[in-house]
A and B are shown apart, each in its own frame.
Chain A
Amino acid sequence: MNPPRNLVLLPSGRSVLFGLIGLVAAVLATTLVASVLSSAWSPVPRAGPGESVDAAGLRFTVEELSRSAGLPDADGVPVPVPDGAEVVVLRYRVEVIDPGADTTIHCRVDLSDGRRTWPTDLRWLGRVEPLGAPSCAGTGDEPLAPDRPVHTAALFVLPAGAEPLTAEVTFGEHTVRFVE
């Protein structure tokens, strides 16, 4: 015997629409929750001057994060910056704390006041007196090693009077932050 015709279930247009909207909302909510939980579980380590943070088997110590009106070149002659600008110097030390850590890293350093970002200004860094090793992995002659820390630096030129600054060091998939 055939079932009564009014028992055949067909989705209405409205229920299909609501189903799609619900699906999209569920995906968005899951992504949002996963993102929040992920950042809460693995916050980016941060350190102020004199402090250290560890990441990927390496220890990063902030030796200096300071602002100044200018810096001298190798002969002691001040390198001029545009009127109304200032120089921010970041010096930091990288040490190996896990012998298995990758020491062939490349560090990208960006400065932010929460609203604007500045990448390392290589043009100015190349003009002033050397502030440290040019790379956080050291040099060819003195590479980063378990018994050999690297002192390196980044330099930024930005409008004077920026809000409190945060330097973000990114290497591979890892990030550490230095604050004033």
Chain B
Amino acid sequence: MTDSGWRSVRGRLALGVCLVLAMTLVLARPDPDRDRFTVVRTGADGWGRTTAFDARIERVGVTTVMPARVDGDPVPTEQRWVVVDYTVRAHRERLDANRLWLITAAGDRYAARPEFAGLGVSLLDAGFTGRGTAVFEVPPEAIAGLTVRVGPLHTDRRPWDVVVEHEPTIEQVPAGTAGEPVVEVTR
């Protein structure tokens, strides 16, 4: 092939590479309906560690009646209360440490019940550790294979958020009956 022929081929090749690159960028564009974050699994010591926070699921229990709170009655459910005791350490900035989710084996996602939000840690500042409880209402058939997800915890949405996930051993007794959430300086 002549020199000019090679140049012509290389020019078209470059054009093709650019087109493929452009198509890849379009196809790889994030789907706004999808969750976008990195998942960190808890380690052997139970902690899931990220640059923004550490989280540990202390205990997960199942019950059909939540104990009475102050001036209240026990709260029954026809489903199941899944009660999660957790600890979160905030490293660098204020986090909303009360953002926990349960993910079923089928991929369904349950948020913590707001009527028990007072048991959770809520806002947690840098350098502090909070211990609290999140309560979820879940169908009994969804209990097996549950995963607990902590986060994203940033009070504003970040493009590279991180969550901690833990596959718990579930006890058939209620957890979370110890009392109010506790916040202390991280040791």
Contacts and interface: CB of A to CB of B under 8 A. Distances in A.
Interface centre among B93, B94, B127, B187 (most CB of A within 10 A): B127
A171 B91 CA distance: 26
B17 A13 contact: yes
Nearest to B184: A82
Contacts of B3: 6
A70 B125 CA distance: 17
A100 interface: no
B92 A13 contact: no
A11 B11 contact: yes
Given A6-B3, A6-B4, A117 B185 contact: no
A158 B11 CA distance: 61
Contacts of B14: 11-13, 16-17
A53 interface: no
A66 to B, nearest CB: 19
Interface string B5-33: 00110110111011000000000000000
B177 interface: no
A118 B95 CA distance: 10
A27 B18 CA distance: 19
B18 A8 contact: no
B82 to A, nearest CB: 29
A17 B186 CA distance: 51
Contacts of A117: 92-94, 126
A83 B11 contact: no
B128 interface: yes
A164 interface: no
B155 to A, nearest CB: 9
Interface string A83-126: 11100000000000000000000000000000111110100000
Interface of A: 5-6, 8, 10-14, 16-17, 82-85, 115-119, 121, 157-160, 162
Given A16-B14, A116-B126, A117-B126, 14 more contacts: A10-B8, A11-B14, A16-B11, A16-B18, A17-B14, A82-B183, A82-B184, A82-B185, A83-B184, A84-B184, A117-B94, A158-B127, A160-B185, A162-B127
Which 8 residue pairs across A and B have the least CB separation, nearest first?
A84-B185, A13-B14, A159-B127, A116-B126, A16-B14, A10-B11, A13-B10, A10-B7
